Structure 1
């Protein structure tokens, strides 16, 4: 294998993609040349040769720098994935210890409460791993794992999809969070009130819909937010109510400004799973899985 792929009966080198990615991230040839420790004329020539090879312009040139054309943005997406796969392949078949990029996703609650200690342990055991963490709702994360954009992701609830595998990671207790004026609210007390939640695809949002529907309450109006900090602030201001893991509330400075209630006579528990492609047995993913010997509450 010579590290290249055939396009139009010619070869596109991974080094071409790496150089293109650097120019795109730097926003110009001058800064890219400095990062690559190369002369500017060499970088310019290679970019032009790549554009000639593909038959499209990849950059819009201006006095203040370069920006990507639509074709350039498409190529950048492929370049990032191919370079990540190349790193993964090298780590998997070369050195026995995990190396290269490990791109993982997580719900914001998991990223804030559970992952700092876990990722610290992972880094200490495998310093050759370059971990990249992104946060999103469970639905988005599962789609990104399926598409190969993430190596693995921590998502809420069970995942049963062909081609995917999941390991239990953490156990969370979901609680109803309201303004302090509400004492032991029932589902009927929430009728007509606004749910403060993340966007569609949020597992906890689906849980509260199920909980309300089981008690004859129609799905509520939703006020969508992008962070737990905003969510709790909105609840404290009596914009509406929310459902979140108790661990998030305990870790927040806003916990005294709101009130937490159980969703029933017994705690409502939900397991966070680490989902991955079933065929992915890379050492990086296996190193992460090894830290999840049993679900952690």
Structure 2
């Protein structure tokens, strides 16, 4: 096993294609295929499940990918430390939709200005999806709802979010869930931490939401609430950024449901140079 093989293996794992990986590592496809086969022979396992026109990681491949990324990251870090070069390469970052829309645009702009040799790749989604992405090595880091106690994850709190519940203009103000038990609610998919927080708010007060409608965006939630179709929970910072926010009633839930903390997380033991400079930029904001 050598660095060249690991670099090719990682490229194939990330792209799912020999030809795409060959372009990424500046080799011909036949060379990539040969080196991957040699690596599998050396290890005595198949690293990929080969399907028609795509390669899928095998269980052994998933395990190796985590180590491969750590090794390549350490090599890059060592090279930069010795040569004094600024961080470079790809930094795959995940974030909650509200965090990406409201909290980090200025941070990302500053990051791009200060480190132009880093290619920042941002994706958004619910906390569960972002956490899985970090654990699987698809994301270098992610902003998700915290605190995070997974044994394979390190992280730090970066933002405090005030959560509010919005209702249609005719909605009487409330603070407790039992006051609106049975009312329909709008939320993201089941792996969204904000949705779990909303449901737990009901259950803790021995109340039950009505039908839960799954939405794809906060703007969709707001539109449905304005139309009088139910309630939604979202960060106040997100609500304040959206046109039409003056058309809803804003209710603040009682403690401890009012506040949530947003964390920046990464896989334990894998703090890349790209991540370290992101943390440096975040320090004044914590």
TM-score (norm. length: structure 1) = 0.75
TM-aligned CA deviation for residue 121 of structure 1: 0.9
Residues 218 and 286 (structure 1), Cα distance of their counterparts in 2 relative to 1, 3 Å cut:
same
CA distance in structure 1 between the aligned counterparts of 2:244 and 2:129, rounded to whole angstroms:
27
* Root mean square deviation, CA, Å: 3.6
CA distance in structure 1 between the aligned counterparts of 2:97 and 2:269, rounded to whole angstroms:
27
The number of residues matched between the two structures is: 271
Tell me the alpha carbon deviations over residues 46-78 of structure 1, each in whole angstroms, 9 at most, x when there is no partner: 577689878999675xxxxxx43xxx2448x97
Q: Which residue of 2 aligns with 1:180?
A: 169
Q: Which residue of 1 aligns with 2:124?
A: 135
Unaligned runs of 5+ in 2: 41-45
Structure 1 residues 5-84: aligned runs within 5 Å: 5=5, 14-15=7-8, 18=11, 24=17, 60=52, 67-68=53-54, 72-74=55-57
* Aligned match for 2:215, one of 225, 231, 236: 225
Tell me the alpha carbon deviations over residues 261-283 of structure 1, each in whole angstroms, 9 at most, x when there is no partner: 11138992211111112312321
Q: Which residue of 1 aligns with 2:281?
A: 291
Q: Which residue of 1 aligns with 2:43?
A: none
Give the secondary structure class of the aligned counterpart of 2:269: coil
1:147 aligns with 2:136: yes
Q: Which residue of 2 aligns with 1:3?
A: 3
Q: Which residue of 1 aligns with 2:230?
A: 240
Look at both structures and tell me which one has the larger radius of gyration over its CA atoms: 1
Comparing 227-236 and 143-152, the one that deviates more? 143-152
TM-aligned CA deviation for residue 3 of structure 1: 2.5
Q: Which residue of 1 aligns with 2:260?
A: 270
Structure 1 residues 185-264: aligned runs within 5 Å: 185=174, 186-264=176-254
Give the secondary structure class of the aligned counterpart of 1:155: strand
Q: Which residue of 1 aligns with 2:152?
A: 163
TM-aligned CA deviation for residue 153 of structure 1: 1.0
TM-aligned CA deviation for residue 292 of structure 1: 2.0
Give the secondary structure class of the aligned counterpart of 2:244: helix
Give the secondary structure class of the aligned counterpart of 1:143: helix
CA distance in structure 2 between the aligned counterparts of 1:121 and 1:197, rounded to whole angstroms:
32
Unaligned runs of 5+ in 1: 6-12, 61-66
TM-aligned CA deviation for residue 179 of structure 1: 1.1
CA distance in structure 2 between the aligned counterparts of 1:157 and 1:106, rounded to whole angstroms:
12
TM-aligned CA deviation for residue 215 of structure 1: 2.2
CA distance in structure 2 between the aligned counterparts of 1:267 and 1:216, rounded to whole angstroms:
15
Comparing 86-95 and 229-238, the one that deviates more? 86-95
CA distance in structure 2 between the aligned counterparts of 1:229 and 1:188, rounded to whole angstroms:
26
Tell me the alpha carbon deviations over residues 15-54 of structure 1, each in whole angstroms, 9 at most, x when there is no partner: 5875898794989xxxx98x9999xxx65x5577689878
Q: Which residue of 1 aligns with 2:93?
A: 104
CA distance in structure 2 between the aligned counterparts of 1:52 and 1:145, rounded to whole angstroms:
27
Tell me the alpha carbon deviations over residues 92-129 of structure 1, each in whole angstroms, 9 at most, x when there is no partner: 12124221111111111101111211111111111121
CA distance in structure 2 between the aligned counterparts of 1:205 and 1:287, rounded to whole angstroms:
32
TM-score (norm. length: structure 2) = 0.77
Structure 1 contact 103–150 (Cα < 8 Å) conserved = yes
Structure 1 contact 194–222 (Cα < 8 Å) conserved = yes
CA distance in structure 1 between the aligned counterparts of 2:141 and 2:224, rounded to whole angstroms:
32
Structure 1 contact 172–246 (Cα < 8 Å) conserved = yes
